Structure 1
Amino acid sequence: MDLPRWLAIYRSIADDFSFDPSADLLSSIILSNLVGKPELPDRKGSTAYVIGNGPNIDEAIQSISSGYTIVADSAISAYFAVRGCPDMIVTDLDGDVDTIFSCASKGTSIIIHAHGDNIHRIIGNGHRIRDDMIGTTQGIPYRNVANFFGFTDGDRSAYIASRMGFEKIVLVSFDFHHVNRSKPGNPAIKARKLKWAQAIISMLAEERGTALADGDFAEI
Protein backbone atom coordinates (compact mmCIF):
# COMPACT_ATOMS: atom_id res chain seq x y z
CA MET A 1 0.00 0.00 0.00
CA ASP A 2 1.19 3.49 -0.80
CA LEU A 3 -0.43 6.83 0.03
CA PRO A 4 -1.98 7.54 -3.41
CA ARG A 5 -3.59 4.09 -3.50
CA TRP A 6 -4.84 4.49 0.06
CA LEU A 7 -6.30 7.94 -0.59
CA ALA A 8 -8.32 6.50 -3.48
CA ILE A 9 -9.69 3.87 -1.08
CA TYR A 10 -10.33 6.57 1.51
CA ARG A 11 -12.37 8.57 -1.00
CA SER A 12 -14.52 5.49 -1.64
CA ILE A 13 -14.98 4.98 2.11
CA ALA A 14 -15.91 8.64 2.58
CA ASP A 15 -18.48 8.37 -0.20
CA ASP A 16 -19.90 5.14 1.23
CA PHE A 17 -20.40 6.59 4.71
CA SER A 18 -20.90 10.25 3.71
CA PHE A 19 -17.85 11.23 5.74
CA ASP A 20 -16.60 14.81 5.54
CA PRO A 21 -12.83 14.76 4.86
CA SER A 22 -12.56 18.33 6.20
CA ALA A 23 -13.80 17.07 9.59
CA ASP A 24 -11.12 14.37 9.53
CA LEU A 25 -8.54 17.07 8.81
CA LEU A 26 -9.80 19.24 11.68
CA SER A 27 -9.49 16.27 14.03
CA SER A 28 -5.92 15.69 12.81
CA ILE A 29 -5.01 19.34 13.40
CA ILE A 30 -6.27 19.15 16.98
CA LEU A 31 -4.53 15.84 17.69
CA SER A 32 -1.28 17.04 16.11
CA ASN A 33 -0.93 19.63 18.87
CA LEU A 34 -1.08 16.93 21.55
CA VAL A 35 1.06 14.03 20.29
CA GLY A 36 4.74 13.80 19.41
CA LYS A 37 6.50 12.68 16.25
CA PRO A 38 4.86 9.62 14.64
CA GLU A 39 7.77 7.24 15.15
CA LEU A 40 6.65 3.67 15.74
CA PRO A 41 8.51 1.70 18.44
CA ASP A 42 11.22 -0.76 17.50
CA ARG A 43 10.04 -4.23 16.63
CA LYS A 44 10.40 -6.81 19.40
CA GLY A 45 10.59 -10.34 18.08
CA SER A 46 9.27 -11.65 14.78
CA THR A 47 5.60 -12.23 15.59
CA ALA A 48 2.83 -9.72 16.25
CA TYR A 49 -0.56 -10.75 17.61
CA VAL A 50 -3.26 -8.29 16.60
CA ILE A 51 -6.25 -8.64 18.90
CA GLY A 52 -9.81 -7.96 17.75
CA ASN A 53 -13.05 -8.06 19.71
CA GLY A 54 -14.63 -11.16 18.22
CA PRO A 55 -17.14 -13.35 20.08
CA ASN A 56 -14.49 -15.84 21.25
CA ILE A 57 -11.98 -13.29 22.50
CA ASP A 58 -11.87 -14.58 26.09
CA GLU A 59 -10.84 -18.06 24.99
CA ALA A 60 -8.64 -16.93 22.11
CA ILE A 61 -6.39 -14.61 24.06
CA GLN A 62 -5.60 -17.35 26.56
CA SER A 63 -4.00 -19.30 23.70
CA ILE A 64 -1.57 -16.58 22.62
CA SER A 65 2.07 -17.60 22.94
CA SER A 66 5.00 -15.22 23.24
CA GLY A 67 4.99 -12.31 20.82
CA TYR A 68 4.28 -8.61 20.48
CA THR A 69 0.64 -7.81 21.25
CA ILE A 70 -1.32 -5.05 19.52
CA VAL A 71 -4.86 -4.58 20.82
CA ALA A 72 -7.54 -2.82 18.78
CA ASP A 73 -9.55 -0.38 20.90
CA SER A 74 -12.75 -2.31 21.63
CA ALA A 75 -10.84 -5.44 22.69
CA ILE A 76 -8.84 -3.81 25.48
CA SER A 77 -11.28 -4.51 28.32
CA ALA A 78 -11.43 -8.24 27.58
CA TYR A 79 -7.70 -8.45 26.93
CA PHE A 80 -6.78 -6.55 30.09
CA ALA A 81 -9.00 -8.76 32.26
CA VAL A 82 -7.04 -11.84 31.18
CA ARG A 83 -3.52 -10.67 30.34
CA GLY A 84 -3.09 -7.13 31.65
CA CYS A 85 -1.58 -4.40 29.52
CA PRO A 86 -0.46 -5.22 25.95
CA ASP A 87 2.55 -3.86 24.11
CA MET A 88 0.44 -1.48 22.00
CA ILE A 89 -3.14 -0.18 21.84
CA VAL A 90 -4.61 1.29 18.65
CA THR A 91 -7.59 3.45 19.51
CA ASP A 92 -9.95 6.17 18.38
CA LEU A 93 -10.87 6.67 22.05
CA ASP A 94 -14.34 5.15 21.95
CA GLY A 95 -13.36 2.16 24.09
CA ASP A 96 -12.29 1.84 27.73
CA VAL A 97 -10.19 5.01 27.87
CA ASP A 98 -9.41 4.63 31.57
CA THR A 99 -7.72 1.28 30.94
CA ILE A 100 -6.04 2.64 27.80
CA PHE A 101 -4.43 5.55 29.60
CA SER A 102 -3.64 3.43 32.64
CA CYS A 103 -1.71 1.05 30.38
CA ALA A 104 0.06 4.05 28.84
CA SER A 105 1.47 4.88 32.26
CA LYS A 106 2.79 1.31 32.47
CA GLY A 107 4.69 1.42 29.19
CA THR A 108 2.11 0.46 26.57
CA SER A 109 2.54 2.31 23.27
CA ILE A 110 -0.63 4.23 22.40
CA ILE A 111 -1.68 5.01 18.82
CA ILE A 112 -4.56 7.52 18.70
CA HIS A 113 -6.62 7.92 15.55
CA ALA A 114 -8.18 11.23 14.51
CA HIS A 115 -11.43 11.34 12.54
CA GLY A 116 -14.37 13.67 12.27
CA ASP A 117 -16.55 11.78 14.75
CA ASN A 118 -14.11 11.73 17.65
CA ILE A 119 -13.05 15.36 17.91
CA HIS A 120 -14.93 15.65 21.20
CA ARG A 121 -13.11 12.59 22.58
CA ILE A 122 -9.71 13.97 21.63
CA ILE A 123 -10.49 17.30 23.28
CA GLY A 124 -12.06 15.61 26.31
CA ASN A 125 -8.97 13.46 26.83
CA GLY A 126 -6.47 16.14 25.84
CA HIS A 127 -5.08 16.35 29.36
CA ARG A 128 -4.19 12.64 29.20
CA ILE A 129 -2.67 12.58 25.72
CA ARG A 130 1.14 12.80 25.89
CA ASP A 131 3.81 13.64 23.39
CA ASP A 132 5.14 10.08 23.49
CA MET A 133 1.87 8.90 21.95
CA ILE A 134 1.42 8.60 18.19
CA GLY A 135 -1.36 10.19 16.14
CA THR A 136 -2.86 8.75 12.96
CA THR A 137 -5.35 9.84 10.33
CA GLN A 138 -7.21 8.16 7.47
CA GLY A 139 -6.69 11.22 5.27
CA ILE A 140 -3.75 13.40 4.32
CA PRO A 141 -0.97 13.25 6.96
CA TYR A 142 -0.73 16.47 8.95
CA ARG A 143 2.35 17.54 10.94
CA ASN A 144 2.66 15.02 13.81
CA VAL A 145 -0.24 12.88 12.57
CA ALA A 146 0.70 10.04 10.22
CA ASN A 147 -1.26 7.80 7.89
CA PHE A 148 -0.22 4.17 8.36
CA PHE A 149 -3.35 3.11 6.38
CA GLY A 150 -6.45 1.41 7.68
CA PHE A 151 -10.03 2.40 8.41
CA THR A 152 -11.09 0.58 11.58
CA ASP A 153 -8.88 0.13 14.63
CA GLY A 154 -8.47 -3.54 13.73
CA ASP A 155 -7.24 -3.22 10.16
CA ARG A 156 -5.14 -0.19 11.10
CA SER A 157 -3.46 -2.35 13.77
CA ALA A 158 -2.56 -4.93 11.15
CA TYR A 159 -1.01 -2.29 8.87
CA ILE A 160 0.95 -0.88 11.79
CA ALA A 161 2.30 -4.35 12.58
CA SER A 162 3.38 -4.69 8.97
CA ARG A 163 4.96 -1.23 8.99
CA MET A 164 6.95 -2.24 12.08
CA GLY A 165 8.41 -5.12 10.09
CA PHE A 166 6.97 -8.18 11.80
CA GLU A 167 7.61 -11.31 9.77
CA LYS A 168 4.47 -13.00 11.12
CA ILE A 169 1.19 -11.24 11.88
CA VAL A 170 -1.53 -13.26 13.57
CA LEU A 171 -5.05 -11.85 13.72
CA VAL A 172 -6.70 -13.03 16.94
CA SER A 173 -10.48 -12.98 17.42
CA PHE A 174 -11.37 -11.05 14.28
CA ASP A 175 -14.96 -11.56 13.12
CA PHE A 176 -15.88 -9.85 9.85
CA HIS A 177 -19.35 -11.37 9.61
CA HIS A 178 -21.08 -10.67 12.93
CA VAL A 179 -21.62 -7.22 14.39
CA ASN A 180 -20.64 -6.66 18.02
CA ARG A 181 -23.87 -5.35 19.55
CA SER A 182 -22.38 -4.65 22.99
CA LYS A 183 -21.48 -1.12 21.87
CA PRO A 184 -23.94 1.55 20.75
CA GLY A 185 -24.29 2.29 17.07
CA ASN A 186 -26.22 1.37 13.95
CA PRO A 187 -25.75 -2.37 13.24
CA ALA A 188 -26.07 -1.83 9.48
CA ILE A 189 -23.28 0.75 9.48
CA LYS A 190 -21.15 -1.52 11.67
CA ALA A 191 -21.66 -4.36 9.19
CA ARG A 192 -20.48 -2.16 6.32
CA LYS A 193 -17.41 -1.18 8.34
CA LEU A 194 -16.62 -4.87 8.87
CA LYS A 195 -16.78 -5.46 5.12
CA TRP A 196 -14.34 -2.63 4.53
CA ALA A 197 -12.04 -3.94 7.28
CA GLN A 198 -12.05 -7.38 5.69
CA ALA A 199 -11.26 -5.96 2.26
CA ILE A 200 -8.47 -3.74 3.58
CA ILE A 201 -6.79 -6.55 5.53
CA SER A 202 -7.16 -8.81 2.48
CA MET A 203 -5.14 -6.24 0.51
CA LEU A 204 -2.42 -6.35 3.17
CA ALA A 205 -2.39 -10.15 3.13
CA GLU A 206 -2.03 -10.15 -0.65
CA GLU A 207 0.88 -7.72 -0.41
CA ARG A 208 2.52 -10.06 2.09
CA GLY A 209 2.00 -13.06 -0.20
CA THR A 210 -0.72 -14.68 1.89
CA ALA A 211 -4.51 -14.78 1.99
CA LEU A 212 -6.95 -13.81 4.71
CA ALA A 213 -8.83 -16.75 6.21
CA ASP A 214 -11.66 -16.91 8.74
CA GLY A 215 -11.05 -18.17 12.26
CA ASP A 216 -9.99 -17.03 15.70
CA PHE A 217 -6.35 -17.22 14.57
CA ALA A 218 -5.53 -16.07 11.04
CA GLU A 219 -1.94 -15.48 9.94
CA ILE A 220 -1.27 -12.95 7.22
Structure 2
Amino acid sequence: MHYYYKILKEFNFSYEDDVKAAKLLNSMIKRDDNILKKLRLLLNNKEAYIYGAGPSLLEHIKYYKHPLIVADGACKAFLEHNIIPDIIVSDLDGDIEALLKCNDRGSIVVVHAHGDNIDKIKKIVPKLKNVLGTHQVPDLSLNNILYVGGFTDGDRACFLAKYFGAKKLILGGMDFGEYITKYSRPNIKNLIEKGDEIKIKKLRWAKKLIEDLKKDIDIEFL
Protein backbone atom coordinates (compact mmCIF):
# COMPACT_ATOMS: atom_id res chain seq x y z
CA MET A 1 0.00 0.00 0.00
CA HIS A 2 2.87 2.37 0.84
CA TYR A 3 4.43 1.98 -2.61
CA TYR A 4 1.07 2.08 -4.37
CA TYR A 5 0.13 5.48 -2.96
CA LYS A 6 3.61 6.83 -3.70
CA ILE A 7 3.20 5.69 -7.33
CA LEU A 8 -0.25 7.30 -7.58
CA LYS A 9 1.20 10.59 -6.36
CA GLU A 10 4.35 10.52 -8.50
CA PHE A 11 2.52 9.76 -11.75
CA ASN A 12 -0.70 11.61 -10.90
CA PHE A 13 -2.71 8.40 -11.35
CA SER A 14 -6.29 8.09 -10.15
CA TYR A 15 -7.21 5.55 -7.47
CA GLU A 16 -10.83 5.75 -8.61
CA ASP A 17 -9.87 5.00 -12.23
CA ASP A 18 -7.73 2.04 -11.11
CA VAL A 19 -10.72 0.65 -9.22
CA LYS A 20 -13.01 1.27 -12.21
CA ALA A 21 -10.63 -0.59 -14.54
CA ALA A 22 -10.28 -3.49 -12.08
CA LYS A 23 -14.03 -3.88 -11.71
CA LEU A 24 -14.49 -3.74 -15.49
CA LEU A 25 -11.94 -6.49 -16.07
CA ASN A 26 -13.42 -8.51 -13.21
CA SER A 27 -16.79 -8.36 -14.99
CA MET A 28 -15.29 -9.51 -18.31
CA ILE A 29 -13.18 -12.45 -17.13
CA LYS A 30 -14.62 -15.37 -15.21
CA ARG A 31 -12.36 -17.14 -12.74
CA ASP A 32 -10.88 -20.19 -14.48
CA ASP A 33 -9.49 -22.71 -12.02
CA ASN A 34 -7.91 -24.66 -14.89
CA ILE A 35 -5.71 -21.68 -15.79
CA LEU A 36 -4.77 -21.17 -12.15
CA LYS A 37 -3.85 -24.86 -11.90
CA LYS A 38 -1.84 -24.68 -15.13
CA LEU A 39 0.12 -21.66 -13.89
CA ARG A 40 0.86 -23.42 -10.62
CA LEU A 41 2.09 -26.52 -12.49
CA LEU A 42 4.20 -24.37 -14.83
CA LEU A 43 5.86 -22.31 -12.12
CA ASN A 44 5.75 -24.02 -8.73
CA ASN A 45 9.27 -24.87 -7.56
CA LYS A 46 10.68 -24.02 -11.02
CA GLU A 47 13.32 -21.64 -12.30
CA ALA A 48 11.30 -19.15 -14.34
CA TYR A 49 12.87 -17.22 -17.23
CA ILE A 50 11.37 -13.74 -17.40
CA TYR A 51 12.10 -11.31 -20.23
CA GLY A 52 11.48 -7.59 -20.53
CA ALA A 53 11.63 -5.54 -23.72
CA GLY A 54 14.82 -3.63 -22.93
CA PRO A 55 17.80 -3.07 -25.26
CA SER A 56 19.44 -6.36 -24.20
CA LEU A 57 16.40 -8.43 -25.23
CA LEU A 58 17.71 -9.67 -28.59
CA GLU A 59 21.08 -10.51 -27.07
CA HIS A 60 19.44 -12.52 -24.29
CA ILE A 61 16.84 -14.45 -26.30
CA LYS A 62 19.29 -17.28 -27.01
CA TYR A 63 19.52 -18.09 -23.31
CA TYR A 64 15.80 -18.64 -22.77
CA LYS A 65 14.31 -21.78 -21.25
CA HIS A 66 10.81 -22.78 -20.22
CA PRO A 67 8.84 -21.84 -18.23
CA LEU A 68 9.11 -18.56 -20.11
CA ILE A 69 7.29 -15.39 -19.09
CA VAL A 70 7.58 -12.24 -21.17
CA ALA A 71 6.50 -8.66 -20.57
CA ASP A 72 4.04 -7.40 -23.16
CA GLY A 73 5.79 -6.38 -26.42
CA ALA A 74 8.75 -8.69 -25.78
CA CYS A 75 6.47 -11.42 -27.13
CA LYS A 76 6.98 -9.97 -30.63
CA ALA A 77 10.74 -10.55 -30.44
CA PHE A 78 10.19 -14.15 -29.40
CA LEU A 79 7.56 -14.64 -32.09
CA GLU A 80 10.09 -13.40 -34.67
CA HIS A 81 12.35 -16.23 -33.45
CA ASN A 82 9.43 -18.71 -33.64
CA ILE A 83 9.36 -19.06 -29.85
CA ILE A 84 5.99 -19.00 -28.08
CA PRO A 85 6.14 -17.81 -24.47
CA ASP A 86 4.24 -19.76 -21.84
CA ILE A 87 2.92 -16.55 -20.29
CA ILE A 88 2.63 -12.94 -21.48
CA VAL A 89 2.08 -10.24 -18.87
CA SER A 90 0.48 -7.22 -20.51
CA ASP A 91 -1.39 -4.00 -19.88
CA LEU A 92 -2.19 -4.03 -23.61
CA ASP A 93 0.08 -1.20 -24.78
CA GLY A 94 2.54 -3.38 -26.73
CA ASP A 95 2.23 -5.04 -30.14
CA ILE A 96 -1.33 -6.38 -30.02
CA GLU A 97 -1.03 -8.37 -33.25
CA ALA A 98 1.94 -10.30 -31.84
CA LEU A 99 0.13 -10.77 -28.53
CA LEU A 100 -2.93 -12.24 -30.26
CA LYS A 101 -0.78 -14.56 -32.41
CA CYS A 102 1.06 -15.89 -29.36
CA ASN A 103 -2.21 -16.31 -27.49
CA ASP A 104 -3.67 -18.21 -30.42
CA ARG A 105 -0.63 -20.51 -30.36
CA GLY A 106 -0.88 -21.28 -26.66
CA SER A 107 0.41 -18.39 -24.55
CA ILE A 108 -1.56 -17.58 -21.43
CA VAL A 109 -2.13 -13.82 -21.36
CA VAL A 110 -2.17 -12.12 -17.97
CA VAL A 111 -4.05 -8.88 -18.61
CA HIS A 112 -3.52 -6.05 -16.16
CA ALA A 113 -6.14 -3.40 -15.39
CA HIS A 114 -5.23 0.16 -14.54
CA GLY A 115 -6.93 3.50 -14.96
CA ASP A 116 -5.32 4.32 -18.31
CA ASN A 117 -6.22 1.19 -20.29
CA ILE A 118 -9.99 0.89 -19.84
CA ASP A 119 -10.70 1.33 -23.57
CA LYS A 120 -8.10 -1.28 -24.50
CA ILE A 121 -9.58 -3.74 -22.01
CA LYS A 122 -12.99 -3.31 -23.65
CA LYS A 123 -11.56 -3.76 -27.15
CA ILE A 124 -8.93 -6.48 -26.75
CA VAL A 125 -9.94 -8.77 -23.87
CA PRO A 126 -12.92 -10.27 -25.80
CA LYS A 127 -10.43 -11.43 -28.46
CA LEU A 128 -8.32 -13.41 -25.99
CA LYS A 129 -8.52 -16.99 -24.74
CA ASN A 130 -6.60 -18.58 -21.86
CA VAL A 131 -6.59 -15.27 -20.05
CA LEU A 132 -6.03 -14.29 -16.42
CA GLY A 133 -6.73 -10.82 -15.05
CA THR A 134 -4.75 -8.77 -12.52
CA HIS A 135 -5.17 -5.34 -10.97
CA GLN A 136 -2.98 -2.94 -8.99
CA VAL A 137 -5.12 -1.83 -6.03
CA PRO A 138 -3.75 -3.66 -2.96
CA ASP A 139 -6.84 -3.21 -0.78
CA LEU A 140 -9.35 -4.31 -3.45
CA SER A 141 -10.62 -7.90 -3.37
CA LEU A 142 -12.35 -9.22 -6.49
CA ASN A 143 -13.65 -12.68 -7.38
CA ASN A 144 -12.35 -13.18 -10.90
CA ILE A 145 -9.02 -11.35 -11.10
CA LEU A 146 -5.93 -11.34 -8.88
CA TYR A 147 -3.68 -8.90 -7.12
CA VAL A 148 -0.14 -10.29 -7.36
CA GLY A 149 1.90 -7.13 -6.79
CA GLY A 150 4.15 -5.19 -9.11
CA PHE A 151 3.74 -2.08 -11.21
CA THR A 152 5.20 -2.34 -14.74
CA ASP A 153 4.74 -5.41 -16.91
CA GLY A 154 8.31 -6.52 -16.27
CA ASP A 155 8.38 -6.40 -12.50
CA ARG A 156 4.78 -7.66 -12.30
CA ALA A 157 5.87 -10.74 -14.26
CA CYS A 158 8.38 -11.39 -11.48
CA PHE A 159 5.75 -10.98 -8.77
CA LEU A 160 3.42 -13.29 -10.73
CA ALA A 161 6.07 -16.02 -10.87
CA LYS A 162 6.64 -15.76 -7.14
CA TYR A 163 2.88 -15.76 -6.50
CA PHE A 164 2.61 -19.12 -8.29
CA GLY A 165 5.54 -20.66 -6.43
CA ALA A 166 8.66 -20.21 -8.59
CA LYS A 167 11.86 -20.93 -6.66
CA LYS A 168 14.16 -18.72 -8.76
CA LEU A 169 13.81 -15.97 -11.39
CA ILE A 170 16.26 -15.56 -14.27
CA LEU A 171 15.81 -12.21 -15.97
CA GLY A 172 16.69 -11.16 -19.51
CA GLY A 173 16.01 -8.01 -21.49
CA MET A 174 15.70 -5.96 -18.31
CA ASP A 175 18.07 -3.00 -18.34
CA PHE A 176 16.29 -0.32 -16.27
CA GLY A 177 18.21 2.43 -18.03
CA GLU A 178 17.08 5.39 -20.11
CA TYR A 179 16.69 3.54 -23.40
CA ILE A 180 13.69 1.63 -24.70
CA THR A 181 13.02 -0.55 -27.72
CA LYS A 182 10.39 -0.71 -30.42
CA TYR A 183 9.15 -3.90 -28.75
CA SER A 184 8.21 -1.84 -25.72
CA ARG A 185 6.91 1.21 -27.59
CA PRO A 186 5.78 0.21 -31.13
CA ASN A 187 5.27 3.86 -32.10
CA ILE A 188 8.97 4.87 -31.93
CA LYS A 189 10.92 5.14 -35.20
CA ASN A 190 14.10 3.23 -34.40
CA LEU A 191 14.70 -0.12 -32.73
CA ILE A 192 16.25 1.62 -29.71
CA GLU A 193 15.59 5.19 -28.55
CA LYS A 194 15.86 7.19 -25.37
CA GLY A 195 12.65 6.87 -23.37
CA ASP A 196 10.49 9.76 -22.31
CA GLU A 197 10.56 11.00 -18.73
CA ILE A 198 7.51 8.94 -17.68
CA LYS A 199 8.94 5.71 -19.12
CA ILE A 200 12.28 6.28 -17.38
CA LYS A 201 10.48 6.85 -14.07
CA LYS A 202 8.53 3.62 -14.57
CA LEU A 203 11.75 1.70 -15.21
CA ARG A 204 13.22 3.09 -11.99
CA TRP A 205 10.21 1.85 -10.10
CA ALA A 206 10.48 -1.55 -11.78
CA LYS A 207 14.10 -1.80 -10.66
CA LYS A 208 13.22 -0.82 -7.10
CA LEU A 209 10.39 -3.34 -6.85
CA ILE A 210 12.54 -6.17 -8.23
CA GLU A 211 15.32 -5.28 -5.81
CA ASP A 212 12.78 -5.52 -2.99
CA LEU A 213 11.53 -8.85 -4.32
CA LYS A 214 15.09 -10.21 -4.09
CA LYS A 215 14.60 -10.31 -0.32
CA ASP A 216 12.05 -13.11 -0.82
CA ILE A 217 13.25 -15.05 -3.87
CA ASP A 218 16.52 -15.78 -5.67
CA ILE A 219 16.87 -13.54 -8.75
CA GLU A 220 19.62 -13.75 -11.36
CA PHE A 221 20.18 -11.31 -14.22
CA LEU A 222 21.49 -12.58 -17.54
Distance in 1 (alpha carbons) for counterparts of 2:167 and 2:153: 21
Q: Which residue of 2 aligns with 1:90?
A: 89
> What percent of counterpart residues are identical?
31
Alignment deviations for residues 99-138 of structure 1 (CA, whole Å, 9 cap, x no partner)? 21222222211100000110110111143144x4111111
Q: How does 1:103-118 map to 2 (within 5 A)?
A: 103-118=102-117
**Number of aligned residues:** 205
Letter in 2 for 1:11: Y
Determine if the alignment matches structure 1 residue 21 to structure 2 residue 50. Answer: no
Q: How does 1:44-123 map to 2 (within 5 A)?
A: 44=42, 46-64=46-64, 66-123=65-122
Determine if the alignment matches structure 1 residue 192 to structure 2 residue 201. Answer: yes
Q: Which residue of 2 aligns with 1:207?
A: 216
More displaced 10-residue stretch of structure 1: 98-107 or 22-31: 98-107
Distance in 1 (alpha carbons) for counterparts of 2:196 and 2:21: 25
Distance in 2 (alpha carbons) for counterparts of 1:22 and 1:202: 29
Give SS of 1:100's match.
Answer: helix
- Alignment RMSD: 2.0
More displaced 10-residue stretch of structure 1: 152-161 or 46-55: 46-55
- The 8 Å contact of residues 73 and 99 in structure 2, kept in 1 or not, is answered as no
Distance in 1 (alpha carbons) for counterparts of 2:41 and 2:211: 23
Distance in 2 (alpha carbons) for counterparts of 1:181 and 1:98: 17
- The 8 Å contact of residues 70 and 86 in structure 1, kept in 2 or not, is answered as yes
- The 8 Å contact of residues 75 and 102 in structure 2, kept in 1 or not, is answered as no
Determine if the alignment matches structure 1 residue 145 to structure 2 residue 145. Answer: yes
Alignment deviations for residues 14-73 of structure 1 (CA, whole Å, 9 cap, x no partner)? 011010011011111111122122753223362110011121211211122x32000100
Distance in 2 (alpha carbons) for counterparts of 1:91 and 1:207: 24
| TM-score using structure 1 length | 0.85
Shift of 1:141: 3.4
Letter in 2 for 1:48: A
Aligned equivalent of 2:26, options 29, 32, 36? 32
Letter in 2 for 1:10: Y
Letter in 2 for 1:154: G
Q: Which residue of 2 aligns with 1:4?
A: none
Which runs of no fewer than 5 residues in structure 1 stay unpaired? Answer: 1-6
Determine if the alignment matches structure 1 residue 12 to structure 2 residue 11. Answer: no
Which runs of no fewer than 5 residues in structure 2 stay unpaired? Answer: 189-194
Letter in 2 for 1:68: P
More displaced 10-residue stretch of structure 1: 55-64 or 14-23: 55-64
Aligned equivalent of 1:136, options 110, 134, 137? 134
